């Protein structure tokens, strides 16, 4: 598998209504030789791990690769969504030039693709069928499946919550010739349940996309060959957002959806290895890469970014504040925002699955900016 060199972070500055895209070199979170240090084994409780406040200071975030502002439309708040179009090839070849691209779309349904290799280059793509409020993506082969995390049923006005970007001519051609969006059917739960939010998702067996709706406790599967939906079961994927398949271990990994620190999680989503038939998930392990911080530190968001070769970058955003006690309530006044990035590696020791921690770095962030990591 191709090793991902960069971690991509999007910042939405609500004050000046701008969006910026940054990339961080992932090699800085892993020991290159034994002389640099020794990875430490993790358990489910964070025993022996360091407090987030004690992590090495990573300094300032890299300068933005690109800065964008959304269009001004009447009765529509300005918004730009970013998703990752992953390279699934190996070495330097493969689809779309051998490295990841970033696809962006605005509230006018316009889209473009950015090649973040310096100097970054951006080219316009065809417009989407309709805007996406909270887009997420899954890369399968040379196609990008884009879905709104808040899907809505058709309204007769051509609104589509699910689309695929593909190139029937030459998927290696970055110059956008032949690329087009095709609308796809909505997941079935949007007709029966509210809220219809998609809480977790994964690619299964390379031929299907599974999405879970926690409100209905149901998971649905989209078959990419015949482009139809079916119900997978009355259970949900055990992840927050993306569960990423790691072929070396034949398991899916991500951030646990259980609200006990949102630990790094491994689970099996199929009944038999390589079968592709989904079954109720079986969790194979939970790991925590940091010691439990004081109450003033709370996890705001967490991401597990698969880099390839059984390695991940775990990114946690912490809200830091002051605990105040009044007559009838205790609450926290948020004063600071920080991100901790940790490199971890999944290892197999006989029948045992282990996770070791390499390096961690801590970044102080602007408090009034919304940050998101592209997975």
Q: Which residues contact 47 (CB under 8 A, 6 or more apart)?
A: none
CA separation for the pair 314, 289 (Å, rounded): 8
CA separation for the pair 25, 32 (Å, rounded): 14
The CATH classification number of 6-374 equals 2.120.10
pLDDT in tens, the chain (375 residues): 567 999 999 999 977 889 999 999 999 999 987 778 899 999 999 887 889 999 999 999 999 999 999 887 766 678 999 999 998 654 333 345 568 999 999 999 999 999 888 788 889 999 999 999 999 999 999 999 999 999 987 766 678 999 999 987 766 655 667 899 999 999 988 877 667 899 999 999 999 999 999 999 999 999 999 999 999 999 999 999 999 999 999 999 999 998 777 899 999 999 776 667 899 999 999 999 999 888 889 999 999 999 999 999 999 999 998 777 776 777 667 788 999 999 999 999 888 999 999 999 999 999 889 999 999
Contact (Cβ atoms closer than 8 angstroms) between residue 281 and residue 273 = no
For the entire predicted model, the pTM comes to 0.92
**SS3 of 95, please?**
helix
Nearest residue to 257 (alpha-carbon basis) of 247, 242, 271: 242
Nearest residue to 301 (alpha-carbon basis) of 253, 245, 357, 262: 262
Contact (Cβ atoms closer than 8 angstroms) between residue 286 and residue 265 = yes
Cα angle, residue 240 at apex, residues 236 and 241 outer, rounded to 5°: 95
């Amino acid at each position: 598998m191709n090793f991902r060199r960069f971690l991509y972070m999007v910042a939405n500055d609500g004050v000046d209504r701008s969006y910026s895209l940054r990339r961080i070199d992932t090699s800085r979170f892993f020991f290159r030789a034994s002389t640099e240090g020794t990875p430490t084994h993790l358990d489910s409780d964070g025993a022996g791990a360091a407090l987030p406040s004690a992590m090495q200071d990573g300094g300032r975030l890299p300068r933005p690769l690109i800065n964008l502002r959304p269009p001004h439309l009447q009765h529509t708040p300005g918004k730009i969504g970013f998703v990752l179009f992953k390279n699934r090839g190996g070495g330097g070849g493969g689809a779309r030039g051998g490295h990841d691209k970033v696809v962006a779309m605005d509230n006018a349904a316009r889209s473009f693709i950015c090649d973040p290799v310096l100097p970054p280059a951006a080219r316009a793509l065809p417009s989407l069928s309709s805007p996406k409020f909270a887009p997420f993506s899954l890369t399968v082969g040379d196609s990008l499946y884009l879905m709104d995390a808040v899907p809505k049923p058709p309204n007769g006005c051509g609104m589509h919550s699910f689309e695929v970007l593909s190139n029937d001519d030459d998927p290696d051609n970055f110059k956008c010739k032949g690329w087009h969006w095709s609308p796809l059917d909505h997941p079935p739960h949007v007709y029966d349940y509210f809220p219809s939010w998609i809480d977790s998702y994964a690619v299964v067996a390379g031929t299907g996309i599974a999405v879970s709706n926690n409100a209905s406790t149901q998971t649905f599967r989209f078959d990419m060959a015949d482009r139809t939906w079916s119900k997978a079961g009355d259970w949900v994927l055990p992840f927050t957002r993306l569960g990423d398949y790691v072929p070396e271990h034949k398991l899916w990994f991500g951030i646990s959806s259980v609200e006990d620190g949102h630990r790094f999680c491994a689970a099996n989503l199929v009944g038999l290895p390589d079968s592709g038939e989904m079954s109720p998930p079986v969790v194979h392990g939970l790991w925590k890469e940091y010691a439990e911080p004081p109450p003033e530190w709370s996890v705001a968001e967490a991401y597990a970014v698969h880099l390839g070769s059984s390695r991940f970058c775990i990114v946690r955003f912490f809200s830091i504040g002051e605990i105040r006690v009044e007559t009838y309530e205790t609450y926290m006044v948020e004063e600071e925002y920080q991100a901790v990035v940790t490199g971890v590696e999944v290892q197999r020791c006989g029948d045992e699955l282990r996770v070791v921690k390499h390096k961690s770095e801590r970044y102080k962030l602007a408090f009034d900016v919304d940050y998101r990591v592209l997975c």
